[in-house]
Amino acid sequence: MKRSAVGSLALLVALAGCGAPAAPAASDPAPTGAPGGASVAPAVPAGDLVRWPDNATVSHIFYHPLVVDPKRAFAADNPDRTGFLQYMVTIDEFKAQLVQLHDRGYVLVHPQRLAARDAAGVMRWTPLFLPAGKKPLVLSIDDVSYNKNTVGNGFASNLTLDAAGKVTNTYTDAAGATTTGSYDVSTVLDDFVAAHPDFSLGGDKGTIALTAYEGVLGYKSSPSVHGDTAETRAQAAQAKAVADALKATGWKFASHSFGHRDYGSLSLAALKRDDERWHADAGPIVGATDMIVYAYGADIETGNRGYARSNAKFAYLSDQGFDYFFNVDASVPHWVQLRPDSVRMGRINIDGITLSRALEGRQDVLPLFFDAKAVVDPLRPLPTPGA
């Protein structure tokens, strides 16, 4: 998929391409039956379980924040309209997709269930057992910063906790009325799993891939941007309370780089600086992570070669504790590459571009998950620009 040429605005810096350079269409051979090992994933539910035959054949879909009010986000005079049309799905589209994913037997799993390091530190496939008839699916969400471009434009403005400590969103409607409720991917998914527990394996939900240059989760929490002040610390404390609640309810966090930077083209020194800022500003809020979701899908290795420590960027990121690496590839249903010290996985962008292509029969992967015609929002102008 071509990287979007749009994007002078921060919005498009934040959104563009999470649809970008395609990973090669190939995957490793089937698991050998090696006994896996150091998985820390929670136990799966009791019952008749069947081993998934090949962990290299697991799909990974991802989303950006949801459009709550398509009339505002897609308004003809909204300067951010094109980016919203290209990279966002609406809340009604997402809800309809969840119904179909569930109907088709998908069940959410974290990537750590596919492969994990054994006692000797070697990454190996982990036997994955699912209820009969279920298909594993990994899900992630990008750019969950609730930045100035989305807030007030028909999107939620943060993730927060309600009086009972449950994660919810704040949303201000077109009339200026502010409410809390389920207005974005994580909260809508929480509701769906509460109603359909068999959509989650052992409580697994998804991975939230965070930048930090605009704060995290709707909080101006980054000392290096917002200043090392009492107010920044208070914002970070609120963000941490939300992050803790998310982790306790099946969510994991990944680095999406500090500044939504292209790790493929950055120099090693610039990549290190960016990663250090992410760990300094987001790390205290979300804790340690072993996952990196490349901004723009921009991988540090090209082609089908697996990572090796001769790649200095890989050696650095591996030494920082990253074991799972995610690029973008919507051209194949799944792409997973296992090496002794890494798992690399392609992600399928579910957005206005792929939806529009699927509607025209030009996108072969989305139909595995849902019928695009049945899920498209009647308030979405079509075709999507640039699709």
Indicate the residue among 73 and 254 with the shorter CB distance to Zn ion: 254
Give the shortest CB-16-to-Zn ion separation in angstroms. Answer: 8
Indicate the residue among 20 and 96 with the shorter CB distance to Zn ion: 20
Give the shortest CB-211-to-Zn ion separation in angstroms. Answer: 7
Q: What is the chain's length?
A: 387
Are the CB atoms for 300 and 263 separated by under 8 Å?
Answer: yes
Give the shortest CB-166-to-Zn ion separation in angstroms. Answer: 27
Beta bridge partners of 336: 345
Indicate the residue among 210 and 246 with the shorter CB distance to Zn ion: 210
Select the span of 140-148, 320-328, 339-347, 368-376 touching Zn ion (CB under 5 A).
140-148
Indicate the residue among 142 and 299 with the shorter CB distance to Zn ion: 142
Indicate the residue among 18 and 348 with the shorter CB distance to Zn ion: 18
214 binds Zn ion (CB under 5 A): no
In the shown chain, the binding pattern of residues 259 to 298 toward Zn ion, with x for contact by CB under 5 A and - for none, equals ------------------------------------x---
Q: Cα separations (Å) of 146 from 105, 210, 240, 274?
A: 32, 11, 15, 20
* Chosen residue from 28, 93, 143, 214 binding Zn ion by CB under 5 A: 143
Give the shortest CB-142-to-Zn ion separation in angstroms. Answer: 4
Give the shortest CB-310-to-Zn ion separation in angstroms. Answer: 28
Q: Cα separations (Å) of 21 from 17, 83, 199, 257, 262?
A: 9, 18, 30, 17, 11
Buried b (16+ CB within 10 A) or exposed e, 179-204: ebebbbbbbbbbebbeeeeebbbebb
Select the span of 3-11, 13-21, 132-140, 367-375 touching Zn ion (CB under 5 A).
13-21
Buried b (16+ CB within 10 A) or exposed e, 254-288: bbbbbbbbbbbebeeeebbebbebbbebbbbbbee
Rounded to the nearest 10 degrees, how much is the dihedral formed by the CA atoms of 120, 317, 252, 344? -70
377 binds Zn ion (CB under 5 A): no
Select the span of 86-94, 134-142, 190-198, 352-360 touching Zn ion (CB under 5 A).
134-142
Are the CB atoms for 222 and 143 separated by under 8 Å?
Answer: no
Q: Extract the tokens encoding 74.
A: 């897609």
Give the shortest CB-350-to-Zn ion separation in angstroms. Answer: 14
Give the shortest CB-99-to-Zn ion separation in angstroms. Answer: 26
Give the shortest CB-3-to-Zn ion separation in angstroms. Answer: 12
Pairing of strands 49-51, 129-131: antiparallel
Select the span of 15-23, 150-158, 284-292, 305-313 touching Zn ion (CB under 5 A).
15-23
Count of residues engaged in binding Zn ion, rule: CB under 5 A: 4
142 binds Zn ion (CB under 5 A): yes
Residue 56 carries which side chain, given as an amino acid letter? A
* Chosen residue from 12, 18, 114, 317 binding Zn ion by CB under 5 A: 18
Helix (H, G, I), strand (E, B) or coil at 185: helix
Indicate the residue among 13 and 115 with the shorter CB distance to Zn ion: 13
Nearest CA-CA partner of 266 in 285, 244, 294:
294
Q: Extract the tokens encoding 87.
A: 């990279």
Q: Which residues bind Zn ion (CB under 5 A)?
A: 18, 142-143, 295
